Structure 1
Amino acid sequence: MKSSPQIYLFFAILFTLGGITNSTAQTSFKLVDSKENTSVIIDESEPKVVHIAAEMLNDDVFKITGKQLGTTTTTNTTSTAILAGTLGTSSFINDLVAAKKIDTTQLSGKWETYSIQLIENPTENIKQALVIVGSDRRATAYGLLEISRRIGVSPWEWWADVTPDKKEQLSLTITPQVYGEPSVKYRGIFLNDEDWGLQRWAALNFEPKTGDIGPKTYAKVFELLLRLRANTIWPAMHTCTKAFYHYPENKVVADDYAIVVGSSHAEPMLCNINAEWNHDTMGDYRYDTNAGEIKKLFKKRAKETADYEGIYTLGMRGEHDSPMIVGDDDTPSQVKLLEQVITDQREILKETKQDLAQVPQAFVPYKEVLHYYQNGLKLPEDVTLVWTDDNYGYLRQLSNPEEQKRSGGAGIYYHTSYWGRPHDYLWLNSTHPVLMWEELSKAYSFKAEDIWILNAGDIKPHEYNTELFMDMAWDMSKFETSAAVAKHQFDWAAREFGTTNATQIDALLDSFYQLALQRRPEFMAWSAVEPVTKSGETQLTQIHYGDEVSKRIDAYQTLIAEVEALKPTISANRKDAFFELVYYPVMGAAQLNQMWLYAYKNKHVATQGRASAAVYAQKSAESYDAIERLTRYFNDTIQDGKWQHIMNKAPRNLPVFSKPVVSLVNSQEPGVGLSLEGYKMEYNNETTNSFADVLPVFNAYTKSRYYIDVFLKGSEPQTWSATPAESWIELSTTSGKLSLENPEERVWVTINWNQVPQGTNKKEAPLGHDHQLIPPSYKVNSKIDFKTGTSEKTVGVSVFNPQFEALKNFNGFVEDKGFVVINAENPSAVQKGKEASWKVINRLGYSNSVMRAEPFTAASETTPEALLKNAPVLEYDFYTFNFGTVDVKVSALPTHAVYPGKGVRCAVSIDGATPQIIDFQTEGRSVSWKENVLKNRSVQSASQIVNKPGKHSLKVYMVDPGVMLDQIVIDLGGLKDAYAFPEETKN
């Protein structure tokens, strides 16, 4: 549904001791004071959901003040009241409209729109009333629960134990206001992959009488949805859970809470095939051979849901979320059969619902069904197209201009939890909020505004992203830029844990999501599923670019220290909430990462015979034990076992959750070894005839630094010392003692650039042969002497320190060790295009900012002439000391083309050469797609010529709007294998 900006008047709220103050507030309303309590008046004729919402509000007030508001159906018993009702249903509201005491012109005929206003003397007995009017039953319930929000009750009060602060009095300051219409008509969650958490928790703890996810559990889920202003559920559907309609009360509870019931892409006509199809009595689940039996099930479900709100998924897939089985294995036959399925389903709906235009119907082009749709499947005009992501957060397709005209409109189905290839992520919520915003806002701009469903797994621990998803669906106009997501996250932290802690929690979560974007915790074993494989070798380098494994260990160690420091500052009534919403996700991710990172460290140092192998093995084991301990606390201790069985530390028992196998070091001759950055083997490894005794070249223009590991061999304590030959060589430490308790030390080597002598500088160009990466005449050579007992070792130090006049005021990027690294958000110049321009999206990408070509409606520019004339351009100045054919590697987020005929492309050109197109699009579940979604990046390259040393210009042209550029490497032959690009080589 389209939103109406003039009625989106949400205002900032400042919580005070006595209640709530609004900066534009006009009138004060006392909810609870020492003299009397306000009553909530609801007409008897109101739908059940309105009465439920009133009781929820009453309970919320009681939790804060210990006093009951009380609910009543008469206006004869109170002097101040909350008067809530649905337009056209409530006699109280209708009387106020007739008396012209309230204006409802902005509500009449609207979907889920409500107003809140203060009225003096609305009736003979009531002196003052806070009047809540809803355009429909859900709107009235939302209005009542808006009061709960304003008095400080979190939507996660029950689901995450966000216990409200105690207050003796409550008052509100009110400005007349209208809320709605929502940006998206149907907004909800899909309970999925519930086997390891939600189902076990419900069956064994919360709802043991049912022994399943039943009406009691769904009532709590629906309560959460109302608090989040959501209205739709796709119920749990795995074989461990009985079908939603198996329990007759489920649909009654859903209707009581005014929740619309839909079903997933694999559950046609609200039927759960996994649980409801019986081969013995019903035959094969094949429409080409057994349509009669299948239609019987469809008719049964249509009949029993005729009087309830529902969204009917049309089409068909096979059992257990598999492809539909048909007789002829060719696309035209499959398309024809699927069209017949849809025709028959609509005929069944006509029998029970009559007017199909009033029956919400959805078609989900997911997996092979998308292939059928792309190959000519004809879909009725009034059916909503529900587009899906690729299971890893990137939308596969959206409505083209013609499809956007369809009366049925469009929607999206999006994952923050997934079971499947190339690897599950079922344990923690690790989808980056800004990525989710980027894809959802893109979908909304393509008119996907009728149905939004989030696969939120077990709900826990997807709390924050679920709320962000619903807030965007409610009012997308508040999320025009990525900065709005940052504000939302900060405001969420402030609401849950106070403004004092909000800045730290926001920064903590930002780091948590940034690390997960680079690789989710569940992917850290480098294993795969379908079929499940054993853990593999990490792609993180331990020998180049400052040691990526150690950098990631340090990053998570920082998060651990920060979250531990925050823990004691949290107020007593929010400590459980802090554990559930922040502490467990951050610590869980940190410990799972470190369990594997320390195991990778163990294997690496064991090959060099380091005694520290045992230390890393121990640290890996400690992280494994920490996860076990944290999860046990979550399940058994919080709220006296309220969440027992909800959290499983190893969904599906995949290899990533197992204790890693570690390496042991055999007895070594006592001594001290050295290992230098840039080498896999240790210093002076004569067995391979390779002398790893010189550090990589230090570059004056990038201020390089490198490490030397000093490590113990054997078990006897050893001492060591290091002496630089020159004063301009600086060491982080110059001596130490090694023992089994402290078996290695990392020495960082830096250069004092104010003291280092200048290299020979007779010429600036040319510098010699193609790809002669560091000309000898430009280096200053020295050394560091290490002494260990009677042993002496010398490490070579080579410094590149010419003083080129051209670089004195150069503000671009400089070659370092045979490559130039550029973060895309740092262009030297930006040129707008005819229709589009490059815009920064912050808090996303490996560099923490990406450049996106906008708007999405801009035309693609695919020819050199069109690129030069029309395309927006990013220009980067760079300087090389070498020349020749170079490889321009561009990293982008692995998004997909918005619809067939579009692409995910940019073009690159060095020094005015003809732009060469780079394409990031992947097909299906290809090997490159799998690699991309595991890394959240796609790297493609193009060859260019750098014809001489000196200054150059790289231009990046938009070919397709929407492409998101992250980083660029100009490789002159020196780039080493690593997981990520090296750090930016800014002058």
Structure 2
Amino acid sequence: MYRYKCKILAIVVLFSIVATGVQGQKSDIFPLVNGNQVIDIVVDKKDAKVVQIAADLLASDIFKVSGKRVGVTPNLDKAGIIAGTIGESRLVDQLVSEMKIDVSKVKSHWETYSIEIVKNPVKGIEKALVVIGSDRRATAFGLLEISRMIGVSPWEWWADVTPNKKSELNISMENRIYGSPSVKFRGIFLNDEDWGLQRWAALNYEPETGDIGPKTYAKVFELLLRLRANTIWPAMHSCTKPFYSYPENKQVADDYAIVVGTSHCEPMLCNINAEWDSKTMGEWRYDKNAETIKKMFETRTKESSDFESIYTMGMRGEHDSPMIVGEDDTEAQVQLLEDVVTDQREILQKKTGKAAHHLPQIFIPYKEVLNYYQNDMELPEDITLVWTDDNYGYIRQLSNAEEQKCSGGAGVYYHTSYWGRPHDYLWLNSTNPVLMWEEMQKAYEFQSRDLWILNCGDIKPHEYNIELFLDMAWNMRSFSQSQGVRNHMEKWAAREFGKYNANPVTNLMYEYYRLAFQRRPEFMDWGRVEPVTKAGETELNQIHYNDEVSLRINAYQKLMDATQKLKPKIADNRKDAFYELVYYPVMGAAHLNHKWLYAYKNKFAAQQGRSSASYFGQKATDAYHQIQEETDYFNNILQNGKWNHIMSMSPRHLPVFSKPTTTICVRGNKPQLGLALESYEMEVNTEIINSYADVLPVFNAYTQSKYFVDVFLKGKGELTWKASAKADWIHISKDEGSLNNENQEQRVWVSIDWDKVPVGVNKKEAPLGHDYQLIPPSYKVNSAIVFAAGDTTISIGVSVFNPKLKALENYKGKVEDKGFVSIYAENYSAKIAGKQATWKTYDGVGYTGKVVSALPYSADSQTNIQSIKNNSPALEYDFYTFNFGKATVHLQAIPTHAFNHESGVRCAVSIDDADPVVVDFQTFGRSEEWMQNVLKNASVKSVSQIVNKAGKHTLKIWMVDPGVMIDQILIDLGGWKKSYAFPPESNC
């Protein structure tokens, strides 16, 4: 194994999302189908099987588009396309020897191919489209590049992207060289297949095998070729027979030129879950049963030695568990693991006849193995280090400067699907694509360029992220900025759904991923797994900050409405593809959120005695049934049952997927008016005059606040209500209504007409020495709203903070509201560059859809106050407070990990002229803090600061370590009421 280096030139090819190449002569038109003219695809019989397979696929694709059949033949009589591998194709070698084509930039390069129009390639042929590959895969990629050019999606079969029909096929192209790829080995891991892929294959697609067998793998390998991938880690759960138990599997992989590797818990291509029988083979413990284990390694090595393989070195315990040697004896574990690797390399050399360093080998420091590696485990330098994420999208560690010098290089094993603690996400693809880009871009910069594997579960519904991952691995140069992801998605959407739908689809999917980033659908019950817990209490706040539960309900409703509006605009031949790639994931996520969100509202309403509790309970139940209906359609009706059993709405049957339990409110027979105000947990007590709960929060002229009053029915029957403001500057969204069994509550929004409200007068100075005052007694104007129904009258106080301060005229910063200042990190007032680094904004990730990150990753960490002040880049945020005293600055960051032992995940904070205080976001192992972070996709750290006076101030955030990503900031003077997300930004 050797470390792979190459230079890439990025070019976009017609109908391709990502391609690499070197431009040649100017563009030309080449006819593939023109009237009754029929061409042949010519390949040498002696060329690799994958070349023949790719040629057949291209011929089939041309027929699907044009209705004209194209022959695949070794004969040159009607040659239109000539394809071959250097040194394997007599036809290609002849063109080279006759100097009709120059292959100097293709030959001997990894997976590099050229496509060019050659005039008079052979006698009697005026011109031909010639595809030449440096190796067998390259030739196949070149043939399937032509499929992309004629408009055939790589997902034509796997997502039913039916090609558009064309009577003539003329492709406009320039002679190009494509490759070499950014990453040498690129592929997917089929995992957690129990509820989808395995059942679909066994019961639907491949019943003759009753399993994921050679027929299913052939379709998977076809997809990989179309996506320019070359590696598979096969399915390995106990529900699936091991890959090598079907002799045809390894032959099919070789036919498609797919390299077979295995996961971190499958050493030497051995599937321990299903192939190790402890009853007949003894314990899976190398310290006690090494000889039996080595025999297994020897058998598999001999069986695989004639095929392209990547051997996973080391070992773990059974069933994805730690290897056991004594109790907590790290030193013994390290020594044993070193012995395992030494023995494995001897086996490789003995059974293949090749020196171990000439064979692809990987070592995956996953979970506890990372701890062993970090405790001075010695590893041969020609073994590829494959770093892993923490199962939730955040890479644990990357190669340091010394590791980057090793000939084995490095790679990444990354998840978009996961089974395990703290909670699974096996149903939908909820991994933010910009986050995945940021982590893989970081890995690429740290020289992890030899192997990228994506754990994509059942393939469906991970289609987009699979393509993005593999396109990045093919040509990372096209993704130098976060905007590259959006550009990629727009091109993907244009290809699949038409250029006029590209932007709407992209906007829709970006919002889908933003909401999922705030909390994945599968985490909405606040439960845990292993051991499985019942649903917990939601952290979403229903009484503060405009009601987080309702805001999320409305956001998902808006997303569903946009999806429904877009659906009729999709061409008929792409409607099924739209359903699979967009509609089902969006609707599934929305309905699962609605199920839990309405269940939370049901419980809250019942506690307040609202008759509407039953309405919310029904909405939760309806959402559950909608998931059932959509999943039934996916499995049984879509494509006439082609995908039956592929989609499960309840993987592992966890509580989050269950039918909601709702609360019934005991209702009296007499209808009564109820009111509930924003910021109060209890409803207004109509029995007590001037109770503490009958005043809305203070309206702030500088933040243009608005608050809600819920008007609801208690009991049964019907009543009408009216509301009247005692001042003309109070605006009410609704001033009357009817409540009955069908319409049991209404939300009234109260806002202020700031052009009419009187200016507040400073009647009382704030007392000196007081730490803070949440609402200054000065500058306030008071009035009320009266709600009436029958003989019930309730007065709700309205208090307005409306000074006219010269200091805030034309002010552009943030302003305190109710004792805090909330800031979105991307909205800085100024940015100060450091000596090595600067802050950059990433679009498409974070709670607000943007984060700021200190880059480049290669910048030195600044660890003392003077170096921070003198060398670090800084962000400045201007803010104004009406109070002063102690303040807590809460910083919310994306919960990434340190690159390696030499770095951290730190920034520093200061207000005004104070010295920077370091904030550290790093977590260790699988701690409770880490679990909370990955469930929330947020790490929140806090520091104390002093706001020494009312007035203008500046918050500074300094880089300590490069790569830290700041999402939101909250400066709390004592007024923040705990909420899941920080309150909306305190805009002036």
> Which bin holds the TM-score, normalised by the shorter protein?
over 0.9
Distance 1:398 1:49, change over 3 A: same
Cα deviation per residue 1:299-344 (whole Å; 9 max; x = unaligned)?
0000000000000000000111000122464111100000000000
1:253-332 to 2 correspondences below 5 Å: 253-327=252-326, 329-332=328-331
* TM-score relative to the length of structure 2: 0.98
d(CA) in 1 for partners of 2:406, 2:878: 47
In structure 1, what residue type is equivalent to 2:959? M
Instruction: Report the 3-state secondary structure (helix = DSSP H, G, I; strand = E; otherwise coil) of the residue aligned with 2:931.
Output: helix
Distance 2:398 2:609 in 1: 55
Which 10-residue stretch deviates more, 743-752 or 664-673?
664-673
| In structure 1, distance between residues paired with 2:950 and 2:526 | 40
Shift in Å, 1:685: 6.5
What is the one-letter code of the residue matched to 2:949?
K
In the alignment, what sits opposite 2:504? 504
User: CA distance change for structure 1 residues 40 and 320 in 2, over 3 Å: closer, same or farther?
Assistant: same
Give 1:744-823 correspondences, 5 Å limit.
Answer: 744-761=745-762, 769-823=770-824
Distance across 2 between alignment mates of 1:833 and 1:667? 65
1:501 is displaced (CA, Å) by: 1.2
Counterpart for residue 662 of structure 2: 662
After superposition, residues 332-481 of structure 1 pair within 5 angstroms as 332-353=331-352, 354-481=354-481
Secondary structure at the aligned position of 2:177 is classed as strand
Residue matched to 1:18: none
| Aligned-residue RMSD, C-alpha | 1.6
Matched, 1:896 2:897: yes
Shift of 1:370: 0.2
- CA 1:96–1:23 in 2, change beyond 3 Å: closer, same or farther? closer
Partner SS, residue 250 of structure 1: helix
1:223 aligns with 2:204: no
Q: What is aligned with 1:208?
A: 207
Residue 761 of structure 1 deviates from its aligned partner by: 3.8
SS at match of 1:777: coil
Q: 1:704 aligns to what? A: 705
SS in 2 for 1:89: coil
Do the aligned residues in 2 keep the contact of 1:328 with 1:334 (CA within 8 Å)?
no
How far apart in 2 are the matches of 1:589 and 1:543?
A: 24
Quote the offset at 1:667 in angstroms.
Answer: 2.1
Q: Distance in 2 between matches of 1:933 and 1:689?
A: 45
Alpha-carbon distance in 1 for matches of 2:329, 2:45:
59
Q: SS of 1:320's equivalent?
A: coil
Distance 1:760 1:687 in 2: 31
Residue 352 of structure 1: SS of its match in structure 2? helix
Q: Within 5 Å, which residues of 2 pair with 1:24-35? A: 26-35=27-36
Change (3 A) 1:829 1:251: same
Structure 1 moving runs of 4+ over 6 Å: 762-768
The 2-side partners of 1:400 and 1:540 are apart by 40
The 1-side partners of 2:5 and 2:298 are apart by: 36
Match of 1:19 in 2: none
> How far 1:830 moved relative to its partner?
0.8
Give how far 1:766 is off. Answer: 7.4
Q: Give the AA of the match of 2:259.
A: V
Q: Deviations over 1:700-730 (max 9, x none)?
A: 1110000000001111111001001111100
Could you tell me how far 1:213 is from its partner in structure 2? 0.4
Match of 1:87 in 2: 86
Q: Retained in 1: the 8 A contact 2:856–2:962? A: yes
SS in 2 for 1:928: helix
Judge conservation of contact 2:24–2:175 (CA < 8 Å) in 1.
no
For the residues of structure 2 that align with 1:570 and 1:541, how far apart are their CA atoms?
38
Given that residues 25 and 173 in structure 1 are in contact (C-alpha distance below 8 angstroms), is that contact kept between their aligned partners in structure 2? no
> CA deviation digits over 1:898-952, x for unaligned, max 9?
1013110000001111110011011111111111101100000100000110011
SS of equivalent to 2:128: strand
Displacement of 1:24:
9.1
Residue 113 of structure 1 contacts residue 181 of structure 1 at CA under 8 Å; is this kept in 2? yes
Give the counterpart letter for 1:177 in structure 2: R
Query: Are 1:8 and 2:29 matched, yes or no?
Result: no
Matched, 1:591 2:591: yes
Distance 2:860 2:326 in 1: 42
Preserved contact between residue 9 and residue 177 of structure 1 (Cα < 8 Å) = no
1:937 equivalent in alignment to 2:938: yes
1:9 positional shift: 3.1
Aligned mates of 1:45, 1:912 — CA distance in 2:
76
Q: Which residue is 1:562 aligned to?
A: 562
Distance (whole Å) between structure 1 residues aligned to residue 951 and residue 824 of structure 2: 20
Contact 1:12 1:23 survives alignment (8 Å): no
Opposite residue 158 of structure 1, the aligned amino acid is W
Partner-residue secondary structure (3-state), 2:319: helix
The code of the aligned residue for 2:100 comes to: K
How many Å apart are 1:773 and its aligned residue? 1.4
Q: Which residue number corresponds to residue 833 of structure 1?
A: 834
Cα displacement (A) at 1:280: 1.8
1:33-48 residue pairs with structure 2 within 5 A?
33-48=34-49
Amino acid at match of 1:532: V
Q: How many angstroms does 1:258 deviate by?
A: 0.2
Q: CA deviation at 1:26?
A: 2.1
Query: What corresponds to 1:117 in structure 2?
Result: 116
CA displacement, residues 58-103 of structure 1 (integer Å, 9 cap, x when unaligned): 111111111111111021x11x510000011111111111111111
User: Displacement, 1:569?
Assistant: 1.6
Report the CA distance between 1:769 and its aligned residue. 2.7
Structure 1 distance, partners of 2:277, 2:948, is 71
Give the 3-state SS of the residue equivalent to 2:194 in structure 1.
helix
3-state SS of paired residue (1:534):
coil
Measured after TM superposition, the shift of residue 295 of structure 1 is 0.2
Instruction: Name the CA shift for 1:752/1:3 in 2 (closer, same or farther; >3 Å).
Output: farther
> Identity of counterpart residues, as a percentage?
62
Q: Is the 8 A contact 2:111 2:179 kept in 1?
A: yes
Kindly provide the amino acid, as one letter, of the partner of residue 488 in structure 2.
H
Alignment-mate amino acid for residue 234 of structure 1? W
1:645 and 1:294 map into 2 onto residues whose CA distance is 36
The alignment status of 1:159 with 2:158, answered yes or no, reads yes
Structure 1 unmatched runs, 5+: 16-21
Kindly indicate whether the alpha-carbon contact (under 8 Å) linking 2:4 and 2:409 is maintained by their aligned counterparts in 1: no
Is 1:649 aligned to residue 631 of structure 2? no
Alpha carbons 2:437, 2:482 under 8 Å: kept: yes
1:489 equivalent to 2:516? Answer: no
**1:446, 1:608 → 2: CA distance?**
55
**Structure 2 Cα separation of the partners of residues 350 and 150 of structure 1:** 44
Change (3 A) 1:789 1:156: same
1:811-852 deviation per Cα after TM superposition (whole angstroms, max 9, x unaligned): 111100000011111111111111111000011111211110
Q: Is the 8 A contact 2:411 2:448 kept in 1?
A: yes
TM-aligned CA deviation for residue 3 of structure 1: 6.3
Deviation at 1:764, TM superposition (A): 8.8
Q: 1:678 to 1:685 in 2, by over 3 A?
A: farther
2: CA distance, partners of 1:203 / 1:599: 37
After superposition, where does 1:847-858 map in structure 2 within 5 Å?
Answer: 847-858=848-859
2:20 aligned partner: none
Matches within 5 A, 1:902-913: 902-913=903-914
**After superposition, what is the alpha-carbon deviation per residue over 1:394-432, rounded to whole angstroms, capped at 9, x for unaligned?**
000000011000100000000000000000000000000
Distance verdict in 2 for CA 1:409–1:740, change over 3 Å: same
Which position in structure 2 is the counterpart of 1:679?
680
Displacement of 1:358 = 2.1
Aligned equivalents of 1:797, 1:467: Cα separation in 2: 54
Q: Contact conserved, 1:223 with 1:257, CA < 8 A, in 2?
A: yes
Alpha-carbon distance in 2 for matches of 1:310, 1:234: 10
- Residues 763 and 778 in structure 2, CA contact (< 8 A), matched pair in contact too: no
Find the residue that maps to 1:344 and give its secondary structure: helix
Q: Give the counterpart letter for 2:391 in structure 1.
A: N
Cα distance in 1 for partners of 2:688, 2:892 equals 39
Structure 1 residue 108: Cα displacement: 1.3
What is the rounded CA distance, in whole Å, between the counterparts of 1:765 and 1:955 in structure 2? 27
Q: TM-score, normalised by structure 1?
A: 0.98
Which amino acid in structure 1 is aligned with residue 30 of structure 2? F
1:691 Cα deviation from its structure 2 partner: 3.0
1:786 maps to a residue whose letter is: F
Instruction: Give, as a single letter, the amino acid of the residue that structure 1 aligns with 2:582.
Output: V
**Maintained 8 Å contact 2:384/2:408:** yes
Letter in 1 for 2:287: D
C-alpha displacement of 1:748: 0.4
SS in 2 for 1:747: strand
The size of the alignment, in residue pairs, is 979
Q: 1:776 is paired with a residue of what secondary structure?
A: coil
1:738 equivalent in structure 2: 739
